[in-house]
Amino acid sequence: MSSTIVRRGTRCTLALVAAASAMLASTGMSQTLIDMGRFPGGTYSFSANLSDDGSVVTGSGDLGGKMHAWRWTMATGLVDLGVVPGATRSAGYCVSGNGQVIVGVSGASYDVAARWTAQTGMQSLGSLAAGKPSFAFGTTYDGAIVVGDGYLSDGTQRAFRWTSATGLQQFGQRLPGTLHSLALRINGDGSVITGYCYNNAPSLVYPTACVWDAAGNITSLGTLPGSAESVPGAINTTGDTIVGYCANGDGSGGRPFRWTAATGMQDLGLPPGATAAVAAALTADGATVVGHAIEAGQARATIWTAATGNQYLSDVLQAAGVDLTGWFLRHATISADGSAMAGWGIYNGAGTSWYLTFGCVAPTILSGPASQTVTEGSSVSFTVVATGSALQYAWFKDSVQIPGAIAATYTIAAVTASDAGDYHCVVSNGCGADTSNIATLTVQPCAAPQITQQPLSQTVNVGMPAYFSVGATGTDPLTYQWRKNTQNIPGATASQYQIAAVTEADAGDYDCIVTNACGGATSSVATLTVQGGGCTGPQISQHPQSQTVDVGMPAYFFVIATGTDPLSYQWRKDALDIPGATAQDYLIAAVTEADAGDYDCVVTNACGSATSFAATLTVQAGCTPPQITQHPQDQTVDVGDSADFLVAATGTGTLSYQWRKDGVAIPGADENSFEIPSVVHADTGLYDCVVTDDCGSSISNAAALTVMCEPCDANCDGSINGFDVEDFVAALSGSGSGCSPCQGDVNGDGSVNGFDIDGFVQCLTGP
């Protein structure tokens, strides 16, 4: 795969940069790039990306012969962010949208995921396995969530998600047939993460771009037609647009893409004379994309819009009047609000980073308010999301401006019928204005609570439980407050109230106030009489038992209680009395699906009452598919070793088995165990078993078989020595023999490039 992956976290949103000439002219700026400089004595500096308002830039530079992460503003210039304790190097990959948090790597070999704030300095985020590398690539607007990847103890590469509460944790599903995953970017609120999955030998799966939702569910982005791999470069603030590049299996032929759920992969094309290109940053609305292209063997910064296609950024800036004397722009990124760009390149023969500010940007509404239907008395909020500089908001109802409604969100704390109408927002600044869509507020009448079931008076012995309940209807949500002698009982805020063991002090009058947004209703009073000795209230010594019964079969419940006779019984289903069910036991001769529910029994005498535990009746059809009791397990083996999978199940009648690899049936594999006597690379995959009985089929969990591969053995002769050097160099150049699926990929990132050289040298020379 290509070595041109730009590891850069992005939340970038932007108004159209293609209008650079107009913006530059309107701001009256000097139209000259700013050299962000280098560390004292340093030889290079690489900017990574900007904060959403363009005021903060992060990147890395040479400091005393070692790379250090930096943070830059117009006021402070280049500021060294240091390293994690005990480390010597660091790199800054991503700055949060608010400019307060920077993430990247540190450590002796840039292999420790790190996070920097002004309060904490550079701190390690940990790893997925002790002593294994980890890398942080992206963060949310507030810097509270960090994503990246790390290695497990077996060398598997997995995406991670970090918060201060959870620490660094493995995250997300993987695409079918892949073992490795990397998380590279995350949108502003953390709801969408993008990255890619891949698999090495023996079943090679090239890197494929994907997205995860906050729960870790994965969706593939696919590839451009004719390409073998895809790698994302950036995601916009709202998470609905992603850019990156696609390439051939050997990494050649890089083509920039733009993806949305509606359009899929869109080829952004190449600037004139370019042989490859990468899309690395984009606007919030997806209308502008920046990155770089390869022309005559050199990287050149690029900018794309639908109107202009992919162009060299230097051509666009020079046409807008920007003085580029002495500059060669190699790469570009851009701020969320469109007020600034940054990148890196060559200035008067030295490698450095550059910065350019555009000033005022007219508002662009990204998402408008949504229509809502609410009940009288409840609260409602309308929100608009927009980009631009120094934004001002004005909300309108039925085209009339609402006094004081000047924030991005407008809230009505307690809706009335008169609030129904059409709402919209105008977002403006000194450069222009944008008007949102209309959101209609529909207000439904509110039904005040009505008591449908009153609490009952009781006589209970000291030490026995007392139980009160109330039923009510009305517009949700309903709230409850129990009272004793008209005084609120702290914490008694459910539809039931129980005293586990009454005392004489509990005697009194109990009622419940039920309220909602429309009003309130008070139940009738239930008197609790507490008596001392001479009478023993019911005590349940054996409760009814939960059971699962087939349709048409009998269900039987019974309860055993002690106490002063006579005892009376009342069975209930789902807390409602069952007419005629007043014996010690209760029988349903032939159950139906409608009988499913919770059953209990209230036992009463002159001294009080006691309610049994609820017994759940589950009703099922007479026949069920097999139940898998033991699933096959993941395995990692060397070539030539055996692999064994086993499944165990129970069911009705005779069980039959069919093993599958990657969802395809394996001929002859029809026992409860499956063995591969001598594993080869092609056996890598996911194995499961379909178990069938008289009632249906069930599929076991999939077990992953991983066949180990030695990337340092570049000539595949079984030894690691000097004879491997020539083949490793060939793999670096893209002309390797391909004798091994992982040939030359020493760091296991799915790509053979310069990052593998140190590891290959260590293989030859030893640790």
- One-letter amino acid of 684: T
pLDDT of 556 over the 50 cut: yes
- pLDDT-derived band at 12 (thresholds 50, 70, 90) equals very low
Residue 77 pLDDT: 87
- pLDDT-derived band at 6 (thresholds 50, 70, 90) equals very low
Residue 498 pLDDT: 94
Instruction: Quote the CA–CA distance of 727 and 719 in Å, as a whole number.
Output: 13
Lowest mean pLDDT among 406-420, 441-455, 673-687, 750-764: 750-764
Q: Where does 348-476 show beta strands of DSSP type E?
A: 350-357, 364-367, 372-375, 380-383, 385-387, 392-397, 400-401, 409-412, 421-429, 432-435, 439-444, 450-453, 458-461, 466-469, 471-473
pLDDT of 485 over the 80 cut: yes
Partners of 79 in the β-ladder = 71
For 140-178, b/e burial (b = at least 16 CB within 10 A) is bbebebbbbbbbeeebbbbbbbbeeeeebebbbbbbebb
Residue 220: how many other CB atoms lie within 10 Å: 15
- Arithmetic mean of pLDDT, 727-737: 77
**Measured between alpha carbons, how far is residue 215 from residues 152, 166, 172, 191, 194 in Å?**
21, 14, 7, 9, 13
Lowest mean pLDDT among 282-286, 308-312, 623-627: 623-627
Give the tens place of pLDDT for each residue, 156-169. 999 999 999 999 99
pLDDT of 480 over the 70 cut: yes
- Arithmetic mean of pLDDT, 428-457: 89
Residue 708 pLDDT: 78
- 350 or 653: which carries more pLDDT confidence? 350
Give the tens place of pLDDT for each residue, 607-642. 789 999 999 999 887 666 788 999 999 999 876 789
- pLDDT-derived band at 606 (thresholds 50, 70, 90) equals confident
Q: Token match 């660094």: residue?
A: 168
Instruction: Quote the CA–CA distance of 698 and 373 in Å, as a whole number.
Output: 43
Strands 526-531 and 458-461: parallel
- pLDDT-derived band at 574 (thresholds 50, 70, 90) equals very high
- 431 or 384: which carries more pLDDT confidence? 384
- 113 or 459: which carries more pLDDT confidence? 113
- pLDDT-derived band at 563 (thresholds 50, 70, 90) equals confident
Give the tens place of pLDDT for each residue, 451-464. 999 999 998 888 78
For 277-289, b/e burial (b = at least 16 CB within 10 A) is bbbbbbbbbbbbb
- pLDDT-derived band at 746 (thresholds 50, 70, 90) equals confident
pLDDT of 95 over the 60 cut: yes
Classified as helix, coil or strand, 666 is coil
- pLDDT-derived band at 430 (thresholds 50, 70, 90) equals low
Lowest mean pLDDT among 51-55, 457-461, 745-749: 745-749
Give the tens place of pLDDT for each residue, 527-549. 999 886 567 789 999 899 998 88
**Measured between alpha carbons, how far is residue 341 from residues 227, 234, 350 in Å?**
30, 15, 20
- 389 or 67: which carries more pLDDT confidence? 67
- pLDDT-derived band at 15 (thresholds 50, 70, 90) equals very low
Residue 251 pLDDT: 81
Residue 280 φ then ψ, to 5°: -120, -15
